[in-house]
Homo-oligomer: A and B are copies of this chain.
Amino acid sequence: MLDYKLLAALAAVVEQAGFERGAQVLGLSQSAVSQRIKLLEARIGQPVLLRAMPPTPTDVGRRLLNHVQQVRLLERDLQQQVPSLVAEGETQRLRVAVNADSLATWWARAVAEFCASHRVLLELVVEDQEVGLKRMRAGDVAACVCAAERPVSGARSLPLGAMRYRAMASPAFIARHFPDGVSAERIAQVPAIVFGPDDQLQHRYLNALGLSGSFLHHLCPSSEGFVRLTAEGLGWGMVPEPQMTEAMARGELVELLPGRPIDVPLYWHHWRNGGDLLDQLTGHLHRHAGDYLVPLVAAQLP
């Protein structure tokens, strides 16, 4: 069998994003961890880790991490069958990548009961779209919530529903920039807020209005920060429906042009042989995600 002490050192350094923290988690000295990784590389005959900040796995390293992740999930099943393997009261950890808007809205409510009753501790990673899937492929997470449908090799994707976005702005922003009423043409000339380089929602909204080309925008890669900037009148932006209710009730946000939502489908990606706990969480989300998201059949897809 493989030497799992060495593999665990690699996993700890990558997951903790550094040798020092990786060593802390393992209760080892930094030089011991470093030696284990060197030994692993000597045995395989090639580097497993780029010594950058943070340390990054090589292609081979990624394959090893993927394997470690799957072994861990299988160990969880074994612990269910052989409970004496588990120290009393030990809880299970599940590492999941979730897109920022889900984490800021429905995710906690959807999984709260499951985590309490199954004694699960979550290690959440905030990643949108393709990056979450890259983490799956790298074996860095056991599952992922994102807008991409196509599963990575060895995984399945389950449609959860869609997040509905509407173009929102503050009343003061509208009064300042649209003194004669909101017109589609003018929207492309006032500042927008964009989550990050991958966020195409504002582009799509403008395209649907028949507008193309570049537009002024702030960049704000924080879900709550995005809503705050919108409410304070720095720009208009596509806000998830669950996040706008209170701000609308307080009169902080109003819809730019009524009735033009964009629905973004969300999928649950999970390892095919990810173990019982992951299967149970998948079943739980399958039953309950619909309580928080718009049904995909009704979703207005691009």
CA distance A224 to B222 in the complex (A): 9
| Residue numbers in B under 8 Å from A232 (CB-CB) | 108-109, 112
In angstroms, how far is the closest chain B Cβ from the Cβ of A14? Answer: 13
Interface residues of A (CB under 8 A from B): 16-17, 21, 50, 52, 56, 91, 98, 100, 103-105, 107-109, 111-112, 115-116, 121-126, 176, 191, 197, 216-225, 228-229, 231-234, 246
Say yes or no: A191-B17 contact (C-beta < 8 A), given A122-B234, A229-B108, A246-B246.
no
Q: A290 to chain B: closest CB distance in Å?
A: 18
Name the residue on B nearest A114 (C-beta).
B234
Closest 7 CB pairs of A and B: A103-B225, A108-B228, A112-B232, A224-B224, A104-B224, A108-B232, A123-B219
Count copies of this chain in the complex: 2
Contact of A234 with B116 in the complex, beta carbons under 8 Å? yes
10 further A-B contacts with Cβ under 8 Å, apart from A112-B229, A121-B191, are: A100-B222, A103-B222, A104-B228, A107-B225, A109-B228, A112-B234, A116-B176, A121-B216, A124-B219, A126-B221
